[in-house]
Amino acid sequence: MTKFLLDKYKDFEPYVPGEQPQGGYIKLNTNESPFPPSERAREKYIAAFDKLNLYNDPENSALCKVIADRYGVLPENVLVTNGSDEALAFIYMAYADGSHPFAAPEISYGFYPVFSALVGADKLTFPLKSGGYVDEKAFIGYDGNVIFANPNAQTGTFMPLSAIEEMLKKPRLVVVDEAYVDFGAQSALPLLKKYGNLIVVRTLSKSRSLAGGRIGFAIASAEVTAELKLIKYSFNPYNLGRAAEAAAIGAIEDEEYFSRCTAAVIRAREYTEREAKALGMEMTDSLANFLLMKRPGTDGGVLKAELMRRGVLVRHFSTPGLSDCIRVTIGSMEQMETFIKVLKDIISGARI
């Protein structure tokens, strides 16, 4: 550590992303899509290459329009970002500090406490209810700004829109991170017509097969998106590059491919849930593209290591409340059949 690093960062704990090995595993650890990007995204991405000598449109107007049309809002309601992580970062930068924390679920996306610490806000969390559900009563009862993923990160559980509407009735910001909404859950977007204090955050990393493209967006009132742009233009005005923007437009326009991919993931999730339960695994009710599961009596880290030795990579978190679990991304049906077969071998061999 150099002597130049500011004191406030000396003990700072950054977010730890999931492993990204280059091949060799059935990769079920970072909630990506098992399917390639749509052909339409590919064509547009390649066509954009020839103009990479020029800066992109800093407003990303073409993509904002496609998103606005797809989700029934106006372009001024949309802010596109370099991954939805950047949208979340802008939200924390704009609205959180030492006297304005965001309350979040105790178990959720690991970036919320990191962003919170980065902007000097206090950590404020509410424990999950049994079954891994977000405790909507705690969020409704609290008066300040709130943020949560719906379906929730790590547990995949879904909170009904009626609870979100209750939260919106108080004069505070309600940030709904819908990274996993496309796998059978319901979006809070219809509430936007009635509530100017709602921010919905989306990503193309999961259901649109573009994790490596780094494309996310926020949808909110025009007033809120203008405030978020204040941060964007003070930080990285050309935040979403030309090639990524082109791929995103192709992916959103290809509704048929999107529907096929998400339906396939839902089918594979239902298969995995059924088979894993038959093997004695316990899990939360997930509407996301992953399942959080455990084998009673077995440490999640040990189970992850055994799966990894057999070529299947899943995610393990050593944080309290999660250390006995593994989080399994839903891949293709073929990948999930292999996962189940390997899990069965491990359990029947009683090697753990």
- Residue nearer to ligand PMP on the CB measure, 177 or 324: 177
Q: How many helices (H) and strands (E) does the chain have?
A: 12, 12
What is the C-alpha separation between 19 and 60, in angstroms, rounded?
A: 31
Segment interacting with ligand PMP, rule: CB under 6 A, options 77-85, 138-146, 235-243, 310-318 = 77-85
> Closest CB to ligand PMP belongs to which residue?
83
CB of 224 to ligand PMP, least distance (A): 18
323 vs 307: CA distance, rounded Å? 16
Q: What's the CA gap between 335 and 330, in Å, rounded?
A: 8
| From 66, 91, 153, 200, residue interacting with ligand PMP (rule: CB under 6 A) | 153
Give the nearer residue to ligand PMP in terms of CB position, either 283 or 346: 283
- Using the minimum distance from each CB to ligand PMP, give the nearer residue, 177 or 306: 177
Give dist(CA 78, CA 138) in Å, integer. 29
109 binds ligand PMP (CB under 6 A): yes
Binding ligand PMP (rule: CB under 6 A), the pick from 66, 78, 179, 200 is 179
- Residue among 34, 83, 184, 331 that touches ligand PMP (CB under 6 A): 83
The residue within the footprint of ligand PMP, chosen from 29, 38, 84, 145 (CB under 6 A), is 84
Dump the DSSP string for 121-172.
PPPEEE---GGG---HHHHHH--S-EEEESSPTTT-----HHHHHHHHTSSS
* 209: contact with ligand PMP by CB under 6 A: no
Q: Whole-number minimum distance, CB 153 to ligand PMP, in Å?
A: 4
- DSSP-derived secondary structure for 310-345: TTEEEB---STTTTT-EEEE---HHHHHHHHHHHHH
| Whole-number Å distance between alpha carbons of 181 and 151 | 6
The piece of 47-55, 78-86, 300-308, 320-328 that touches ligand PMP (CB under 6 A) is 78-86
Strand order in the sheet with 282-283: 282-283, 290-294, 326-329
| 211 contacts ligand PMP (rule: CB under 6 A) | yes
Among 77, 116, 205, 262, contact with ligand PMP (rule: CB under 6 A): 205
Residue 114 touching ligand PMP (CB under 6 A): no
Tally the residues of the chain: 352
Question: Contact 231/94 with Cβ under 8 angstroms?
Answer: yes
From residue 252, how far is each of 6, 37, 73, 151, 196 by CA, in Å? 42, 11, 15, 21, 25
Closest by CA to 277, choosing from 295, 255, 254, 256, is 295
- Residue 2: CB minimum distance to ligand PMP, A: 29
Cα R_g (the chain), whole angstroms: 20
End-to-end CA separation in angstroms for the chain: 40
Q: How far is the CB of 251 from ligand PMP (least distance, A)?
A: 13
Between residues 208 and 295, which has the closer beta carbon with respect to ligand PMP? 208
String marking each residue 85-104 x if it binds ligand PMP according to CB under 6 A: x-------------------
Task: Check residue 149 for interaction with ligand PMP (CB under 6 A).
Answer: yes
Contact range with ligand PMP by CB under 6 A, out of 67-75, 80-88, 313-321, 344-352: 80-88
219 is an interface residue for ligand PMP by CB under 6 A: no
In the complex, the residues that contact ligand PMP under the rule CB under 6 A are 83-85, 109, 149, 153, 177, 179, 203, 205, 211, 216
